[in-house]
Structure formats: structure tokens, C-alpha cells
Amino acid sequence: MTLLTPMMGLIAAMIVVPLLLALYMLKLRRMRRYISSTLLWKSHTEDVRANALMQRLRLTPLFLLQCLLLLLLVAGLMQPVLNSWTRPSGRIVLLIDQSASMQTLDAPNGATRLDEAKRLAIAQVESWQGGGLFAASPPEVMVIAFAQDVSVCIPFTTNPTRIREAIEAIEATDQTTQIGPAIALARAFATEQASEIAAEIKSATVPPLDMQLISDGNCPDLGQLALRKNETLSWVRCGNPDTPNQGISAAGAERRSDDPTLINAFVALRNESEIAVKREFQVRSNGTLIASSPEPITLPAAIGKGATRAPGAQKLSFTPLTLANSGVLSVTMLPNDAFATDDRAVIAIQDQQTLRVLMAGNDSAVEALINSLPSISLQQVSCQDFRKRVSIDANWTESFDVVVTIDCELPVLTAGRWLIFGKPPAIASLNPYGDQPRQAVRTWKSDHKVMAQSQFTDLVVDRAAAIAPTSDWTPLLEGSKGPLIVSGRTYNALVMYVAFLPMDSNWPFQRSFVNFTGQSIEFLGALGSAVTSESLEPGATLRMRVARGSTQVVVTNPRGDSVAQNPIDGEVVFGPLRNVGVYKVDYLDPAGKRKSRAVGVNLTDAAECNVAAAQQLNIPGGELQPKSIGFSTLAIWPMIVMLVLCLLILEWFIYLRSGGVT
């Protein structure tokens, strides 16, 4: 138990307790009453004491009760609070989860978890503010809303109105949960202000930082969180640990190579429930129902528990669907469950496009591979002609979606997207320093889009350029003597550099060569939308290439809000994406034609879609159990008041029983 205003209570006790004693000890003021004779009253010795100026204190029941009442009132003035609800006196950071799972409709009164979180946060802030007339100053509160992005809703303040408004303004997102950046941001603010405070009071003492997380507990990166000294983290849970969820874990569509007007669409389904369920599915093209599951699809139950738990999985394909032009394909699971965000997936289908690829230099393996890719327009020149043409028109490379060079010397890297094999380009940050003989592969970045689904274990490179790239470059493939494949960005060029020629290695004979080359060209040219529509995840950045010179570029999000954009180097960059749905990019191309392209954003993150609220949070150093706020913020003083009232009734009863006299 903690006393919030002990001094106030002590002062009151010092005043009222002696006062009560004095009232009992001082001479009484009596009513005058005429009687016939005082003959029989004269010898009442009991009142001799009462008639003295100061009398000996008599311990009567009423006196003891009044002492008890005073002490209780003094205790009430001291505002005792239980340790489970300790009114903080320093600074508090409210971390409010606004990720996709917080949109689950399992809060009381049919509200979402985010609504409940906001309600609890406001109740918590108000409970800190409340404290009666003699309360100490409330704590400074900062509100941070986080999902994949982090935003400071309001910096440290004690203004309850501003805090409430900031909390109420928090909007839901469909992003995944990352609490690490939020805590880093809170530390940054706290440290900054702590430094200012320390400078003001010329003290190096850093006040403690209390963080209160209001979330459903689905924070995958919480296990990597280590609290520092003077930091505390408490957790207020929103949501039900038993809320099941079924959803679409992946969605895609692909134009058929034999007939590009037909599309094969597929979805992967997930069931987080312990029991198998049946769901129906509908496919709509631009809002028109074009296909549905002939009968309910059974989603198997999740299996395993704890770390080995795996949700039930099912796959569903719809083929073929006719969609000659661009459009939006949506797949909807019916009926919706408590978490509707992943019950619908959208796939933006683009018009058929041909990717323009310029290949400088000769490499039969690369050339054959590029030619095998669908919707590719390949133009091939020699390295000499390439340099000559570039010297004439520096923007020539910009007219191609991807430029592939094979062992060409590139004195100047012009604007564009480059896949470079062999000789390193003239980029200082690569720091080339000769050649490296025979290298084996040590490791590779398997989570990069171009390296996915490839094994490089058996790759042996006979000769490769020796480079020492700066940290601006991302090493994708590490050889035994240095990086072999790196990716990076210069002022106006996006570069994927392979430090060896395929023919100087055994790579052309391996499957990874095919995967890497094809995926690199798709990645650099953003070709995916032309052949296969891949949706983005909430939190990702939308990057879309438009023709250089395009104007009036407007991005419209799923809620219908439009934002004007200025494409840089022919690329529209918008993000991070906050919500699932279709994002539209409208622009006027250099020819004056109004064009529109769409991108589908779907939530497929497995952790985020497992919406069952956590039972506890596992952080390094221990487990964090949920605590409750709002209802536990009942101060003790109302209980004391109740007790005082009961005692008053008891005192009155004793007073009456004693005939009105102690």
C-alpha cells in the first residue's frame, strides 16, 4: 500500500486529533435551565470533573469511535492505494497496439480490441488524474501508437484533455506488430527529456520510465526486448485468448502463358481454431461475382500446442478465370469471423505488359535464360556499342526496364535498374580491389526476394572481382573470400551486382542460376504485376514504375483517401501501407493518356492472423502477466468513506442507546 498524500493526512491529523481531545477535555458550555430546587442535584459528584476547565479524559465508546473516525478520515486524506494500482509520479508511456489483430471484434459490447484499448487507456489516464482535492501532481504521460509503424500520438504531458484526444484519434491499421521500435522511440523521448531535466537540476539521476502496454499480446519481437535499468513494463490485455480465427494466408493470380486472357487464381487458407470449420468462398472481378466454391470448404483444425503449434492449412484454386484486361480480383471467405481483415484477399491484375530488357555483352546462358522468360522484349548490344550509345544519350538506359551487362566496363552508371555480371561498375562505394580466385559459398540472404527458393551451397566460383562494399550495399551472397552478389542503390540507379561471370563458375548448371536471374529481372523491372499479381503486406512501401515524365500522379488508398505524389526517377513511392485492400495509382503519362494501376494489399502474416490474445508475455528475464486497469483504479478512499458511514451509524446507535450522553 502506498500513501499518495501522506503530508496532507499528517497535517490534518495534527490538527483534528488534538482538537477532538481538547473538545473532550475543555469545559462544556451548558444550557441554563430553571428548576424548582437543586436540593437533590447538589451532590452529583460525577460532574465535578466536567465543570473543571480541564478535565481528565474519559475513554468512552463514543470518544473511541470518534477517534477511529478521525483516523480513518486522515487515512482517507492520505489517499492510500494498493500496490496493484500505484499511482505513478514520474513519466509513463502508454504503448497502444494498433496492429491488425486489434481490429478483432471480441471486446465487450461488440467493440474492437482497439476500441477497448482506447477506452482502457483513457480510464487509466483519468484514474491517474483523479485523486481528490489534495492529490499530488499526476504523472506525465506520453502516448505511442504502434503496429509496424510507430507514431507518437502525444509527447509527455499532464494535460488529460490532450491525452484523451490523442488516444481517441488513434486509428486502426492492418499492419503487423513490432513493439521494438515503439519502445526505442519511448526511450528516445524519455532520455531526451531526462537529459533536459538532469541539466536543469544539475543532477545525473535519470527518473524511471514506466511503460504500459495495452495490447492483445501478439508481439512477436517482444522476446528480443530487454528492459533497461529503471524501466518497467506492464501489460494490459485486450481481447480473448480463446478467439478463433480462419483466414486467407496467401493469395495470388497468374496469367496463363498459353492464353493470357485467362487467369489462374489460388488462395491458401489458415485455421487457427482447435476444431475444423467449413467456409464458403467467393471470387469477384471488379466487384462482380465470377466464381464461388461449389460447397463449403473444410478447414482442418490446428494441431500441436505451444511452439510446435501449427494452424490448419488448406489450399484452394480457381481456374481458369477470364480477365483480359486489368482489374481487381477479390476472394472472400464467408461467413466472416471476429477478425475480418484476413477474410478477404485482393489481387490486382495488370494489363499484359512486355518487359524491355537491354543486354550488353555476350553470355549465351544468360541470354537464353532471359529469352525464356514470358513477356520479355530483349535487345542485345555489345559492350562497346553500349558505351558509345550511353555517351551519346545518358538517358538511353532509362528507356529500358532492366539493363543487364555481361563483363562490360561501365565508367558511368546512368539512371536505370541494373543487373551487372563480371566487371564492377564505377561506383566508389563498392571499393573494387582486384580479383579473388576460387571461392565457395559461405552464406546467402535467403529472405531477399531474388534469393528466395534457391540453394547456393554447391556454387563454386573460379574467379570473381574482389570488392569491399560499404554498408550501403546489401550482401546477398557471401563467398569464402568476400561478397559475391550485392545489391544497392546509387543516386538514380538500382543495382544488382554479381561479382563473377556465370561462365567462370558452375552456376549455369544449377537451378539457383535460373531462379536468381529470373527473379532479379522481375525484381528490378517490377515485372511481377505483368505476369503474376503479388500482393503487398501492410506496412510495406508501394513502389511502382511509371513512365518518366508522368504527371498528376495520385495514390488512392482503400478508404478512398487520395494523396498526390511526385514520381522520382519514374518511380512512385508511397507508404508505408496501413490498410489492406486495393491501392490505386492514377497518373497522366507523357503522351497525355490517363492511366490507372492497382496494387492489392493483403494481410498474410501468420503471427498477426493468430488473433487469440496472449495468456502471458514472455520477455527476457521473466513472464509478464496481464493486469487490469479501469476497474482496479478504484481508490481506497470510497471504502474508507463507506467504513466511516458505517461507524457513524454505529456511533449514532450508541449515542441513542446511551440516551444521548456518553
Partner 1 sequence: MSLENKKSHMTKLDDLLHPSLVASLERLDLMSRKMLQGRMQGERRSRRRGQGMDFADFRPYAAGDDLRFVDWNIYGRLDRLFLKMFLEEEDLGLVIAIDGSASMDSGTPNKFDVARRIAMALGYVGLVNQHRVTLALLQEGRANCLSALRGRRRTAEAASWLIEQKAAGTSGFDSACRALASARLGRGMVIVISDYLLREGYESGLSALAARGWDVFALQILSPEEMDPRQGDQSLDVRLIDSENKSEVEITLSNTVVREQKRRLESFNATLRATCLKLGVRQMTIDSSVDYQKFLLESLRKQGLLK
Q: Which residues bind partner 1 (CB under 8 A)?
A: 28-42, 44, 46-47, 50-51, 658-662
CB of 637 to partner 1, least distance (A): 33
Q: Which is nearer to partner 1, 392 or 661 (CB)?
A: 661
CB of 65 to partner 1, least distance (A): 17
Nearest to 95 by CA among 281, 221, 276, 256: 221
Q: Which is nearer to partner 1, 49 or 489 (CB)?
A: 49
Residues 6+ apart with CB under 8 A from 478: 441, 442, 443, 444, 484
Give start and end residues of each alpha helix (H) in 229-323: none
CB of 51 to partner 1, least distance (A): 5
Nearest to 124 by CA among 191, 50, 210, 42: 210
CB of 43 to partner 1, least distance (A): 8
Q: Which is nearer to partner 1, 30 or 594 (CB)?
A: 30
Q: Which is nearer to partner 1, 39 or 204 (CB)?
A: 39
Q: Which is nearer to partner 1, 46 or 623 (CB)?
A: 46
Q: Round to whole Å and give the CA distance between 633 and 635.
A: 6
Q: Which is nearer to partner 1, 36 or 566 (CB)?
A: 36
**CB-based contact 173:97 (threshold 8 Å):** no
Q: Round to whole Å and give the CA distance between 332 and 42.
A: 101
Residues 6+ apart with CB under 8 A from 604: 248, 249, 250, 251, 342, 345, 535, 537
Q: Round to whole Å and give the CA distance between 335 and 250.
A: 18
Residues 6+ apart with CB under 8 A from 364: none
Identity of the amino acid at 600: G
> 297 is written with which cell numbers?
470448404
Pairing mode, strands 327-334 and 312-322: unpaired
Task: List phi, psi (to 5°) of 101.
Answer: -65, -20
Q: Which is nearer to partner 1, 306 or 660 (CB)?
A: 660
CB of 3 to partner 1, least distance (A): 38
> 655 is written with which cell numbers?
449515542
Q: Which is nearer to partner 1, 50 or 412 (CB)?
A: 50
Nearest to 95 by CA among 232, 239, 240, 241: 232
How far, in Å, are 193, 259, 350, 354 from residue 534 at the CA level? 44, 19, 11, 17
CB of 647 to partner 1, least distance (A): 21
How far, in Å, are 65, 139, 191, 411 from residue 90 at the CA level? 38, 5, 13, 60
User: 20-37 burial, b for 16+ CB within 10 Å, e for fewer?
Assistant: eeeebbeeeeeeeeeeee
Per the omega criterion (within 30 degrees of 0), is the bond before 508 cis? no
CB of 22 to partner 1, least distance (A): 16
Q: Which is nearer to partner 1, 40 or 133 (CB)?
A: 40
Q: Which is nearer to partner 1, 42 or 229 (CB)?
A: 42
CB of 200 to partner 1, least distance (A): 60
CB of 5 to partner 1, least distance (A): 37
CB of 27 to partner 1, least distance (A): 9
CB of 46 to partner 1, least distance (A): 6
Q: Which is nearer to partner 1, 22 or 368 (CB)?
A: 22
Q: Which is nearer to partner 1, 40 or 204 (CB)?
A: 40
Q: Which is nearer to partner 1, 42 or 228 (CB)?
A: 42
Give CA 521 to chain center in angstroms: 32
Number of Cβ within 10 Å of residue 488's Cβ equals 19
Nearest to 20 by CA among 77, 55, 70, 92: 70
How far, in Å, are 377, 505, 540, 569 from residue 566 at the CA level? 28, 43, 19, 10
Q: Round to whole Å and give the CA distance between 240 and 612.
A: 6
CB of 25 to partner 1, least distance (A): 14
**Using the 8-state DSSP alphabet, how is residue 352 labeled?**
P
> 305 is written with which cell numbers?
500446442
Identity of the amino acid at 318: F
CB of 662 to partner 1, least distance (A): 7
The partner residues of 255 in beta bridges, in order of sequence, read 263
